[in-house]
Structure 1
Amino acid sequence: MTPDWLAQVHFDEQGLIPAIAQDAHTGAILMVAWMNSEALAETVATNRAVYWSRSRQRLWRKGEESGHTQNLKEIRLDCDGDVILLRVEQLGGIACHTGRESCFYQRLESDEQGQPYWKSVDPVLKDPSSIYK
Protein backbone atom coordinates (compact mmCIF):
# COMPACT_ATOMS: atom_id res chain seq x y z
CA MET A 1 0.00 0.00 0.00
CA THR A 2 1.37 3.43 -0.99
CA PRO A 3 1.79 5.85 1.94
CA ASP A 4 -0.63 8.80 1.79
CA TRP A 5 2.17 11.37 1.35
CA LEU A 6 3.59 9.46 -1.63
CA ALA A 7 0.14 9.01 -3.21
CA GLN A 8 -0.12 12.82 -3.42
CA VAL A 9 2.93 13.02 -5.70
CA HIS A 10 2.07 13.18 -9.41
CA PHE A 11 4.63 11.19 -11.38
CA ASP A 12 4.67 11.48 -15.18
CA GLU A 13 3.76 8.68 -17.63
CA GLN A 14 7.25 7.16 -17.14
CA GLY A 15 6.80 7.16 -13.37
CA LEU A 16 9.20 10.08 -12.85
CA ILE A 17 9.10 13.52 -11.27
CA PRO A 18 11.70 16.30 -11.67
CA ALA A 19 13.64 17.05 -8.50
CA ILE A 20 15.47 20.32 -7.93
CA ALA A 21 18.38 20.19 -5.47
CA GLN A 22 18.96 23.49 -3.68
CA ASP A 23 21.69 24.30 -1.19
CA ALA A 24 19.82 24.71 2.11
CA HIS A 25 22.32 27.28 3.39
CA THR A 26 22.97 29.52 0.36
CA GLY A 27 19.82 28.94 -1.70
CA ALA A 28 21.91 28.14 -4.79
CA ILE A 29 20.29 25.73 -7.24
CA LEU A 30 22.72 22.84 -7.52
CA MET A 31 21.12 20.48 -10.01
CA VAL A 32 17.95 19.03 -11.47
CA ALA A 33 17.45 15.29 -11.66
CA TRP A 34 14.62 12.76 -11.77
CA MET A 35 13.07 10.61 -9.08
CA ASN A 36 10.73 7.66 -9.22
CA SER A 37 8.63 6.59 -6.22
CA GLU A 38 11.37 4.25 -4.97
CA ALA A 39 14.02 7.03 -5.10
CA LEU A 40 11.72 9.47 -3.33
CA ALA A 41 10.79 6.97 -0.62
CA GLU A 42 14.47 6.06 -0.03
CA THR A 43 15.41 9.74 0.11
CA VAL A 44 12.81 10.32 2.81
CA ALA A 45 13.78 7.15 4.71
CA THR A 46 17.54 7.83 4.69
CA ASN A 47 17.69 11.66 4.57
CA ARG A 48 20.13 11.35 1.66
CA ALA A 49 19.30 12.26 -1.93
CA VAL A 50 18.54 9.33 -4.21
CA TYR A 51 17.60 9.88 -7.85
CA TRP A 52 16.59 7.79 -10.85
CA SER A 53 19.27 7.72 -13.53
CA ARG A 54 17.52 7.74 -16.90
CA SER A 55 20.76 6.88 -18.72
CA ARG A 56 21.62 3.93 -16.45
CA GLN A 57 17.99 2.94 -15.75
CA ARG A 58 18.67 2.43 -12.05
CA LEU A 59 18.65 4.24 -8.73
CA TRP A 60 21.47 6.74 -8.37
CA ARG A 61 22.47 7.47 -4.80
CA LYS A 62 24.03 10.91 -5.14
CA GLY A 63 27.71 10.67 -4.27
CA GLU A 64 27.92 6.88 -4.50
CA GLU A 65 31.02 7.21 -6.67
CA SER A 66 32.24 10.75 -5.99
CA GLY A 67 31.55 10.94 -2.27
CA HIS A 68 29.69 14.22 -2.85
CA THR A 69 26.48 13.20 -1.13
CA GLN A 70 23.47 15.38 -0.45
CA ASN A 71 22.04 15.29 3.07
CA LEU A 72 18.34 16.13 3.06
CA LYS A 73 17.35 19.10 5.20
CA GLU A 74 13.85 19.70 3.83
CA ILE A 75 11.64 18.42 1.05
CA ARG A 76 8.81 20.30 -0.63
CA LEU A 77 6.20 19.49 -3.25
CA ASP A 78 5.01 22.18 -5.65
CA CYS A 79 1.37 23.31 -5.91
CA ASP A 80 0.58 20.92 -8.79
CA GLY A 81 2.27 18.01 -7.05
CA ASP A 82 4.56 17.39 -10.02
CA VAL A 83 7.93 18.86 -8.97
CA ILE A 84 10.01 18.07 -5.89
CA LEU A 85 12.35 20.56 -4.21
CA LEU A 86 15.11 19.07 -2.09
CA ARG A 87 16.86 21.50 0.24
CA VAL A 88 20.18 19.78 0.89
CA GLU A 89 23.57 20.04 2.50
CA GLN A 90 25.99 19.32 -0.36
CA LEU A 91 28.96 17.46 1.10
CA GLY A 92 32.25 18.32 -0.53
CA GLY A 93 30.76 21.47 -2.08
CA ILE A 94 30.48 19.83 -5.52
CA ALA A 95 27.15 18.77 -7.04
CA CYS A 96 28.10 18.68 -10.74
CA HIS A 97 29.94 15.84 -12.49
CA THR A 98 32.11 18.55 -14.11
CA GLY A 99 33.67 19.25 -10.70
CA ARG A 100 31.72 22.47 -10.13
CA GLU A 101 29.50 23.49 -7.23
CA SER A 102 26.40 23.63 -9.42
CA CYS A 103 25.29 22.17 -12.74
CA PHE A 104 24.13 25.67 -13.70
CA TYR A 105 27.56 27.13 -14.47
CA GLN A 106 26.85 28.45 -17.99
CA ARG A 107 25.37 31.93 -18.47
CA LEU A 108 23.92 33.28 -21.72
CA GLU A 109 25.99 36.25 -22.88
CA SER A 110 26.27 38.28 -26.10
CA ASP A 111 29.34 38.81 -28.26
CA GLU A 112 30.33 42.15 -29.86
CA GLN A 113 27.83 41.56 -32.68
CA GLY A 114 25.04 40.87 -30.20
CA GLN A 115 25.03 37.12 -30.90
CA PRO A 116 24.18 35.01 -27.86
CA TYR A 117 26.51 32.29 -26.62
CA TRP A 118 26.91 30.22 -23.47
CA LYS A 119 29.84 31.20 -21.24
CA SER A 120 31.16 29.05 -18.39
CA VAL A 121 31.23 31.41 -15.42
CA ASP A 122 31.83 29.14 -12.42
CA PRO A 123 35.18 27.50 -11.70
CA VAL A 124 35.97 23.80 -11.69
CA LEU A 125 36.66 23.04 -8.03
CA LYS A 126 38.03 19.55 -8.63
CA ASP A 127 39.16 17.76 -11.78
CA PRO A 128 36.39 15.29 -12.69
CA SER A 129 38.99 12.65 -13.64
CA SER A 130 40.09 12.60 -9.99
CA ILE A 131 36.49 12.19 -8.81
CA TYR A 132 35.15 9.50 -11.16
CA LYS A 133 36.82 6.29 -12.18
Structure 2
Amino acid sequence: MSDWLDQVKWDSKGLVPAIAQDQATGEVLMVAWMNAEALALTIKEQRAIYWSRSRQAIWRKGESSGHVQQLREIRLDCDGDVLLLSVEQLGGIACHTGRRSCFYRQLDESTGEPVWKTVAPVLKDPQDIY
Protein backbone atom coordinates (compact mmCIF):
# COMPACT_ATOMS: atom_id res chain seq x y z
CA MET A 1 0.00 0.00 0.00
CA SER A 2 1.15 3.54 -0.69
CA ASP A 3 2.13 5.85 2.17
CA TRP A 4 -0.93 8.07 1.66
CA LEU A 5 -3.18 5.01 1.87
CA ASP A 6 -1.39 3.88 5.04
CA GLN A 7 -2.44 7.12 6.71
CA VAL A 8 -6.11 6.15 6.47
CA LYS A 9 -7.43 4.30 9.54
CA TRP A 10 -9.32 1.43 7.95
CA ASP A 11 -11.82 -0.43 10.13
CA SER A 12 -11.55 -4.16 10.88
CA LYS A 13 -13.13 -4.92 7.48
CA GLY A 14 -10.68 -2.64 5.63
CA LEU A 15 -13.28 0.08 5.09
CA VAL A 16 -13.62 3.77 5.83
CA PRO A 17 -16.78 5.93 5.57
CA ALA A 18 -16.79 8.45 2.72
CA ILE A 19 -19.06 11.49 2.70
CA ALA A 20 -19.94 12.91 -0.72
CA GLN A 21 -20.57 16.66 -0.63
CA ASP A 22 -21.66 18.91 -3.49
CA GLN A 23 -18.66 21.08 -4.32
CA ALA A 24 -20.78 24.09 -5.31
CA THR A 25 -23.35 24.15 -2.49
CA GLY A 26 -21.77 22.16 0.35
CA GLU A 27 -24.88 19.94 0.55
CA VAL A 28 -24.18 16.44 1.86
CA LEU A 29 -25.35 14.09 -0.87
CA MET A 30 -24.62 10.66 0.54
CA VAL A 31 -22.40 8.50 2.72
CA ALA A 32 -20.84 5.31 1.43
CA TRP A 33 -17.83 3.11 2.16
CA MET A 34 -14.43 2.78 0.53
CA ASN A 35 -11.69 0.23 0.76
CA ALA A 36 -8.11 0.94 -0.33
CA GLU A 37 -8.80 -0.20 -3.89
CA ALA A 38 -11.87 2.04 -4.21
CA LEU A 39 -9.96 5.04 -2.86
CA ALA A 40 -7.03 4.44 -5.20
CA LEU A 41 -9.40 4.06 -8.17
CA THR A 42 -11.24 7.24 -7.14
CA ILE A 43 -7.98 9.16 -7.33
CA LYS A 44 -6.93 7.49 -10.59
CA GLU A 45 -10.28 7.97 -12.38
CA GLN A 46 -11.23 11.29 -10.72
CA ARG A 47 -14.74 10.04 -9.97
CA ALA A 48 -16.31 8.56 -6.84
CA ILE A 49 -15.82 4.82 -6.61
CA TYR A 50 -17.06 3.04 -3.50
CA TRP A 51 -17.13 -0.41 -1.97
CA SER A 52 -20.61 -1.92 -1.96
CA ARG A 53 -21.04 -3.79 1.30
CA SER A 54 -24.20 -5.51 0.05
CA ARG A 55 -22.61 -6.75 -3.19
CA GLN A 56 -19.08 -7.09 -1.77
CA ALA A 57 -17.73 -5.41 -4.88
CA ILE A 58 -16.32 -2.18 -6.27
CA TRP A 59 -19.15 0.24 -7.11
CA ARG A 60 -18.55 3.02 -9.60
CA LYS A 61 -21.16 5.58 -8.62
CA GLY A 62 -23.38 6.18 -11.64
CA GLU A 63 -22.33 3.10 -13.60
CA SER A 64 -25.97 2.05 -14.08
CA SER A 65 -27.84 5.30 -13.34
CA GLY A 66 -25.54 7.71 -15.15
CA HIS A 67 -25.41 9.86 -12.01
CA VAL A 68 -21.62 10.01 -11.78
CA GLN A 69 -19.82 11.96 -9.07
CA GLN A 70 -16.85 13.78 -10.58
CA LEU A 71 -14.15 14.25 -7.93
CA ARG A 72 -13.07 17.82 -7.24
CA GLU A 73 -11.23 17.34 -3.92
CA ILE A 74 -10.75 14.73 -1.24
CA ARG A 75 -9.95 15.28 2.44
CA LEU A 76 -9.12 13.05 5.38
CA ASP A 77 -10.43 14.02 8.83
CA CYS A 78 -8.23 14.68 11.88
CA ASP A 79 -8.54 11.12 13.18
CA GLY A 80 -7.83 9.66 9.75
CA ASP A 81 -11.00 7.58 9.79
CA VAL A 82 -13.46 9.50 7.57
CA LEU A 83 -13.09 10.77 4.01
CA LEU A 84 -14.83 13.84 2.61
CA LEU A 85 -15.25 13.91 -1.16
CA SER A 86 -16.09 17.20 -2.79
CA VAL A 87 -17.89 16.21 -5.98
CA GLU A 88 -19.82 17.51 -8.94
CA GLN A 89 -22.99 15.41 -9.04
CA LEU A 90 -23.79 14.80 -12.69
CA GLY A 91 -27.50 14.56 -13.41
CA GLY A 92 -28.34 16.21 -10.09
CA ILE A 93 -29.37 12.94 -8.41
CA ALA A 94 -27.21 11.15 -5.84
CA CYS A 95 -29.77 8.89 -4.14
CA HIS A 96 -31.06 5.59 -5.49
CA THR A 97 -34.56 6.83 -4.53
CA GLY A 98 -34.32 9.42 -7.33
CA ARG A 99 -33.68 12.34 -4.98
CA ARG A 100 -30.84 14.85 -5.05
CA SER A 101 -29.53 13.70 -1.65
CA CYS A 102 -29.86 10.57 0.44
CA PHE A 103 -30.64 12.86 3.39
CA TYR A 104 -34.23 13.61 2.40
CA ARG A 105 -35.92 12.82 5.73
CA GLN A 106 -36.05 15.27 8.61
CA LEU A 107 -37.08 14.56 12.19
CA ASP A 108 -40.36 16.38 12.85
CA GLU A 109 -41.37 16.85 16.47
CA SER A 110 -44.20 19.33 15.82
CA THR A 111 -46.93 16.87 16.83
CA GLY A 112 -45.21 15.89 20.07
CA GLU A 113 -44.25 12.44 18.80
CA PRO A 114 -41.07 12.44 16.67
CA VAL A 115 -41.59 11.17 13.10
CA TRP A 116 -39.41 11.16 10.01
CA LYS A 117 -40.88 13.53 7.43
CA THR A 118 -39.89 13.46 3.77
CA VAL A 119 -38.71 16.97 2.84
CA ALA A 120 -37.23 16.47 -0.64
CA PRO A 121 -39.04 15.46 -3.81
CA VAL A 122 -38.28 12.52 -6.08
CA LEU A 123 -36.67 14.09 -9.14
CA LYS A 124 -36.82 10.93 -11.23
CA ASP A 125 -38.62 7.65 -10.66
CA PRO A 126 -36.03 5.03 -9.63
CA GLN A 127 -37.64 2.54 -12.04
CA ASP A 128 -36.69 4.93 -14.86
CA ILE A 129 -33.12 5.12 -13.56
CA TYR A 130 -32.22 1.48 -12.90
Task: Give the TM-score taking structure 1 as reference length.
Answer: 0.96
After TM superposition, give the deviation of residue 4 of structure 1 in Å. Answer: 1.2
Q: Give me the identity figure in percent.
A: 69
Segments ≥4 residues shifted beyond 3 Å: none
**CA separation in 2, counterparts of 1:20 and 1:111?**
29
Partner-residue secondary structure (3-state), 1:56: coil
Q: Give the letter for the 1:35 counterpart.
A: M
CA distance in 2, matches of 1:111, 1:49: 38
Whole-angstrom distance in 2 between the partners of 1:93 and 1:34: 21
Q: Output aligned runs, 1:107-126, within 5 Å.
A: 107-112=106-111, 114-126=112-124
Q: Distance in 2 between matches of 1:116 and 1:7?
A: 42
**Aligned partners of 1:36, 1:90: CA distance in 2, in Å?**
21
Q: In 1, Cα distance between the equivalents of 2:2 and 2:106? A: 41
Distance 2:44 2:59 in 1: 15
Return the offset for 1:3. 1.3
Q: Quick one: distance in 2 between partners of 1:93 and 1:11?
A: 30
Task: Tell me if 1:129 matches 2:127.
Answer: yes
Q: 2: distance between equivalents of 1:110 and 1:85?
A: 30
**Amino acid in the other structure paired with 2:106:** R
Amino acid at match of 1:87: S
C-alpha deviations, 1:42-69, integer Å up to 9, x for none? Answer: 0001101000000000000000000000
How far off its partner does 1:111 sit? 4.5
2:103 is paired with a residue whose SS is coil
Structure 1 segment 70-109 matched on structure 2, within 5 A: 70-109=69-108
Q: Structure 2 regions of 5+ residues with no counterpart?
A: none
Partner of 1:44, secondary structure, is: helix
User: Which whole-Å CA distance do the structure 2 matches of 1:115 and 1:72 have between them?
Assistant: 40
Q: Which runs of 5+ in 1 are unaligned?
A: none
**Amino acid in the other structure paired with 2:95:** C
User: 1:31 maps to which residue?
Assistant: 30
Helix, strand or coil for the counterpart of 2:101?
coil
Aligned-partner residue type, residue 72 of structure 1: L
Equivalents in 2 of 1:126, 1:13: separation in Å?
Answer: 37
> Residues of 2 paired with 1:42 and 1:103: CA distance?
23
Q: Report the equivalent of 1:43.
A: 42
